Chains A and B, each alone.
Chain A
Amino acid sequence: MAVVVNRKSLTFWEKLYLPAIVGGLKVTLKHAYNTLFKGKVVTMEYPEQKWTLPPGYRGAPYLVKDQEGNTKCVSCQLCEFVCPPKAIRITPPGDTGLKADRTNAEKMPAEFEINMLRCIFCGFCQEVCPEEAIFLQQDYSLTALSRSELIYNKEKLLSLGGEVGGIQKWKHKLEEAKAQENFPVKP
């Protein structure tokens, strides 16, 4: 429903126009003075200088490894499914014979690609990941000389992502299973 907002009509001083100009100039001159003589800078030399990003900032998603250097992703493809711009493409291990870093996790992706040109940094992949294997990190300005360079593959994503530890559920499962070694049937 359209709402008509009644604007207040200008007062006499406002109609004069010049006082506002003077007011504006005062601000400008104040900043000019502060910058020139007091060294209080309000702009940044952007590519050289960068913002300190607040925690929780949603930058580019990267794959991470656990504290023992194992790939955490198990190729469940939930991020691929949930990704709104369809930026993620995972090639499951299938019959490639690729073994997972953690043997009892059974699988990890043969290839994992994120098209950073498509990615909208929404964070759904991080939210949906059951393995805490993908995190939106601090990079927001990704550049390349060609489109194909901005399709990051598994290797690149893992190297950029670094290490994010966690509860290591697979390790604990393995330890639990080993503690029950007396299980009557061996595979």
Chain B
Amino acid sequence: MSTAATTEIKPAPPVEKIKVKVDGREIEVPKTMADPISGKPIPTTMIQACELAKQEVPHYCYHPKLPVVGNCRMCLVEYGMPAMGPDRKPVLNADGSPKISKMPRPAISCATPVSPGMEIYTNTPGVKQMREGVLESLLINHPLDCPICDQAGECKLQEYSVDYGQSASRFVEAKVHKPKAVDLGPRIMLDAERCILCTRCIRFTRDIAGDDALGIVNRGSYNTIATFPGLPFDNNYTLNTVDICPVGALTSKDFRFKMRVWFLKETKSVCTSCATGCNIIIGSREEKIQRYTPRENDAVNGPWMCDAGRLNYKWIGREDRLKDVLVRGQKSTWTAALNEISDKLKKAPAGSVAIIASARQTNEELWLISKLKAKLGAISDSIPRDGKGDKILVSADKNPNTNGARLTGICFTEMGINLVKISDGIASGKIKTLIVFGENIVKRAVANEKLRERETISEVVDEHGITAELLQKLDTLIVSDILPNETTKLAHYVLPGAAHAEKRGSFTNTKGRVQKFMKAVEAPGDARAEWEFLHDLVHNVTGQNGFVTIEGLFNQMAKEVPAFNGVTWQALGDTGLTVQI
């Protein structure tokens, strides 16, 4: 597998351009384009030229990030080439333009390279008839399962049947029945009847995930996708095959029969399960997150994401979320608690406050904390969260915003080295007040690899010396978290925070790409986005008034933090910007 999906695209040397005509419109296309797997230049194909000309060519087996096989025949087009005379010179029309001789047979546009002067016709009666024919052939054995099929609503077979297919079926014989609800792996269910044998899943898992687990068995109309006998389809990227499956043959067990896709509100967001920061779309309905799907960003994750990150959303809707502001165990209000906290902080002598922020917080929140830190002369750090990475997408750093914490000055390049000073300070009685954000510092477990089984984000913390006994020595322990844990139990002030899906903000990923994410659902109960109450707290303690919108806050931060200079919220766009780290 190449690292093309995860590395920045290098500026390629200028490629020779050739002129082709798509449906009569002349466009210039590069002569070669990068191979999706090896990255080597390979000749531009007709389907790529059509895409550049913004002319849709329906296709099933072709996928821009996978090798070409050309087995579905859906992308057949007609084309013509400049005619050559017997003297090997182009034959010219009366007006001096090159004479085009139309090729007698169509070609699959996904595998046919373009050549200078080529004319591609995507809308001729012949092409339309061919599409009808291909669709009819695909639908011969396709079951009429749409009411019970999870793909309905985002199914290419449905869409193309409406756009390009015939209105009625001529097929009266019995359909071939294949196995349904086949358990392909721990996260994947196969419905062999629905499969149109495009082999996208096979190519993905072989060439992108590097696990040659799938293949086609049996012959003729009994062709079926299958794993090796006894071997489950189980790598960390299996759910991508569900995304690329153009029909409902591969379905996610997690999302199976959970919600129809047309009800889902789609929110652009960023995955928080590791420092890679894969771009995702959160599908939610009525304040409940139903699924994550990857969002294409060639600078970060391409169109893929890992299964562990994709399934790490259930903790957001957990029943035991922190919903109330608690002051010494009693339910309170935000105003009362924040006033009390800011009074205490204002009176605190310099050096008596320590802050443990979380590298799961956003750039904006960490920046506000750094302002608080500067005013209080506090010592601060964050807790590293190391796990196992891989060569495709997963980063060994499980904090989504480690670089944000570094750039805003919350921690040093090596995260966690101040924790010793903090525990020593508490033990010696020098530190009287500790503010903790989103970290269960009492729990001293080493990050485990059971990411898949894990439902919470607040459970994995590297080892350090700040124990529950030490915390009880503190005068004031202020904890903001999302889920209840041992640390929130010890806290004098508990401030319920919001998950990334419940607020807006930005993360800086492991390569320094600043990416913003949007709010998908409302935070439960009294829980508030951290930046909102941090803003109030900073105002109360330092007297500085800031911006009450995330846009203003980000832009202000970009002005004050050198690394973010010149970046604006608007300029981040959907795919983010890379900053120097």
A residues with CB within 8 A of B: 74-78, 80-81, 92-95, 104-107, 130-131, 169, 173, 176-177, 179-180, 183-187
Complex CA distance for A23 and B105, rounded to whole angstroms: 86
Complex CA distance for A106 and B258, rounded to whole angstroms: 13
Say how far A143's CB is from chain B's closest CB, in angstroms.
Answer: 29
Residue pair B258, A95 in contact (C-beta under 8 Å):
yes
Say how far A170's CB is from chain B's closest CB, in angstroms.
Answer: 9
Residue pair A185, B148 in contact (C-beta under 8 Å):
no
Say how far A52's CB is from chain B's closest CB, in angstroms.
Answer: 35
Residue pair B174, A179 in contact (C-beta under 8 Å):
yes
Residue pair B181, A75 in contact (C-beta under 8 Å):
no
Residue pair B148, A180 in contact (C-beta under 8 Å):
no
A residues less than 8 Å from B143 (CB atoms): 173
**Chain B 414-437 residues near chain A, CB threshold 8 A:** none
B residues less than 8 Å from A183 (CB atoms): 176-179, 222
A residues less than 8 Å from B254 (CB atoms): 95
Nearest neighbor of A92 in chain B, beta-carbon distance: B257
Say how far B153's CB is from chain A's closest CB, in angstroms.
Answer: 9
Q: Which of the residues B147, B257, B263 comes within 8 Å of A130, measured between beta carbons?
A: B147
Say how far B191's CB is from chain A's closest CB, in angstroms.
Answer: 9
B residues less than 8 Å from A104 (CB atoms): 180
Complex CA distance for A81 and B180, rounded to whole angstroms: 27
A residues less than 8 Å from B192 (CB atoms): 185
Complex CA distance for A106 and B217, rounded to whole angstroms: 25
A residues less than 8 Å from B103 (CB atoms): none
Complex CA distance for A5 and B144, rounded to whole angstroms: 58
**Chain B 372-430 residues near chain A, CB threshold 8 A:** none
Nearest neighbor of A98 in chain B, beta-carbon distance: B257
B residues with CB within 8 A of A: 143-144, 146-148, 152, 174-183, 192, 217-218, 222, 224, 226, 254, 256-260, 262-263
Nearest neighbor of B254 in chain A, beta-carbon distance: A95
Q: A130 and B174 in contact (CB under 8 A), knowing A81-B260, A187-B179, A187-B182?
A: no
Contacts A92-B259, A107-B257 supplied; 13 other A-B pairs, CB < 8 Å: A76-B260, A77-B260, A92-B260, A104-B180, A106-B180, A130-B147, A177-B177, A183-B179, A185-B179, A185-B222, A185-B224, A185-B226, A187-B179
Residue pair A106, B259 in contact (C-beta under 8 Å):
no
Complex CA distance for A105 and B147, rounded to whole angstroms: 9
Nearest neighbor of B177 in chain A, beta-carbon distance: A177
Nearest neighbor of A95 in chain B, beta-carbon distance: B258
Residue pair A176, B175 in contact (C-beta under 8 Å):
yes
Complex CA distance for A25 and B94, rounded to whole angstroms: 95
Q: A130 and B146 in contact (CB under 8 A), knowing A106-B180, A183-B178, A186-B179?
A: yes
Complex CA distance for A78 and B149, rounded to whole angstroms: 12
Instruction: Please list 11 pairs of residues, one from A and one from B, whose beta carbons are closer than 8 Å in the complex, sorted by A's number.
Output: A77-B260, A77-B263, A92-B258, A106-B180, A176-B175, A183-B222, A184-B218, A185-B178, A185-B218, A187-B181, A187-B182
A residues less than 8 Å from B176 (CB atoms): 180, 183
Q: A76 and B147 in contact (CB under 8 A), knowing A81-B262, A93-B257, A107-B257?
A: yes
Residue pair B182, A176 in contact (C-beta under 8 Å):
no
Q: Which of the residues A76, A94, A184, A187 comes within 8 Å of B148, measured between beta carbons?
A: A76
Complex CA distance for A93 and B143, rounded to whole angstroms: 21
B residues less than 8 Å from A81 (CB atoms): 260, 262-263
Complex CA distance for A169 and B260, rounded to whole angstroms: 22
A residues less than 8 Å from B262 (CB atoms): 81
Residue pair B257, A180 in contact (C-beta under 8 Å):
no
B residues less than 8 Å from A106 (CB atoms): 148, 180-181, 257
Q: Which of the residues A92, A130, A176 comes within 8 Å of B177, measured between beta carbons?
A: A176
Number of residue pairs spanning A and B whose beta carbons lie under 8 angstroms apart:
72
Say how far B553's CB is from chain A's closest CB, in angstroms.
Answer: 37
B residues less than 8 Å from A185 (CB atoms): 178-179, 192, 217-218, 222, 224, 226
A residues less than 8 Å from B144 (CB atoms): 169
Nearest neighbor of B218 in chain A, beta-carbon distance: A184
Residue pair A94, B258 in contact (C-beta under 8 Å):
yes
Complex CA distance for A106 and B179, rounded to whole angstroms: 13
Complex CA distance for A179 and B175, rounded to whole angstroms: 11
B residues less than 8 Å from A173 (CB atoms): 143, 177
Nearest neighbor of B258 in chain A, beta-carbon distance: A94
B residues less than 8 Å from A80 (CB atoms): 263
Q: Which of the residues A75, A78, A177, A186 comes within 8 Å of B257, measured between beta carbons?
A: A75
Q: Which of the residues B146, B148, B152, B222 comes within 8 Å of A107, measured between beta carbons?
A: B148
Nearest neighbor of A89 in chain B, beta-carbon distance: B286
Which one of B148, B174, B218, B258 has the greatest number of beta carbons of chain A within 10 Å? B148
A residues less than 8 Å from B181 (CB atoms): 106, 187
- What 10 A-B pairs have minimum CB-CB distances, sorted nearest first? A177-B177, A76-B147, A187-B179, A94-B258, A77-B260, A130-B147, A187-B182, A93-B257, A106-B148, A74-B148
Nearest neighbor of B182 in chain A, beta-carbon distance: A187
A residues less than 8 Å from B175 (CB atoms): 176
A residues less than 8 Å from B218 (CB atoms): 184-185
Say how far B177's CB is from chain A's closest CB, in angstroms.
Answer: 4
Residue pair B258, A78 in contact (C-beta under 8 Å):
no
Say how far B324's CB is from chain A's closest CB, in angstroms.
Answer: 28
A residues less than 8 Å from B217 (CB atoms): 185
A residues less than 8 Å from B263 (CB atoms): 77, 80-81
Say how far B188's CB is from chain A's closest CB, in angstroms.
Answer: 14
Say how far B306's CB is from chain A's closest CB, in angstroms.
Answer: 21
Say how far B228's CB is from chain A's closest CB, in angstroms.
Answer: 13
Complex CA distance for A81 and B183, rounded to whole angstroms: 30
Complex CA distance for A185 and B193, rounded to whole angstroms: 12
B residues less than 8 Å from A186 (CB atoms): 179
Say how far B311's CB is from chain A's closest CB, in angstroms.
Answer: 12
Say how far A16's CB is from chain B's closest CB, in angstroms.
Answer: 68
Complex CA distance for A94 and B257, rounded to whole angstroms: 5
Say how far B259's CB is from chain A's closest CB, in angstroms.
Answer: 6
Say how far A31's CB is from chain B's closest CB, in angstroms.
Answer: 54
Say how far A29's CB is from chain B's closest CB, in angstroms.
Answer: 62
Nearest neighbor of B191 in chain A, beta-carbon distance: A106
A residues less than 8 Å from B179 (CB atoms): 183, 185-187
Say how far A178's CB is from chain B's closest CB, in angstroms.
Answer: 9
Say how far B195's CB is from chain A's closest CB, in angstroms.
Answer: 12
A residues less than 8 Å from B174 (CB atoms): 176, 179-180
Q: Which of the residues B152, B177, B183, B226 comes within 8 Å of A76, measured between beta carbons?
A: B152
Complex CA distance for A133 and B514, rounded to whole angstroms: 50
Complex CA distance for A185 and B146, rounded to whole angstroms: 24
B residues less than 8 Å from A74 (CB atoms): 147-148
Residue pair B224, A131 in contact (C-beta under 8 Å):
no
Nearest neighbor of A179 in chain B, beta-carbon distance: B174
Nearest neighbor of A169 in chain B, beta-carbon distance: B144
B residues less than 8 Å from A93 (CB atoms): 257
Which one of B175, B176, B181, B257 has the greatest number of beta carbons of chain A within 10 Å? B257
Say how far A59's CB is from chain B's closest CB, in angstroms.
Answer: 25
Complex CA distance for A92 and B150, rounded to whole angstroms: 11
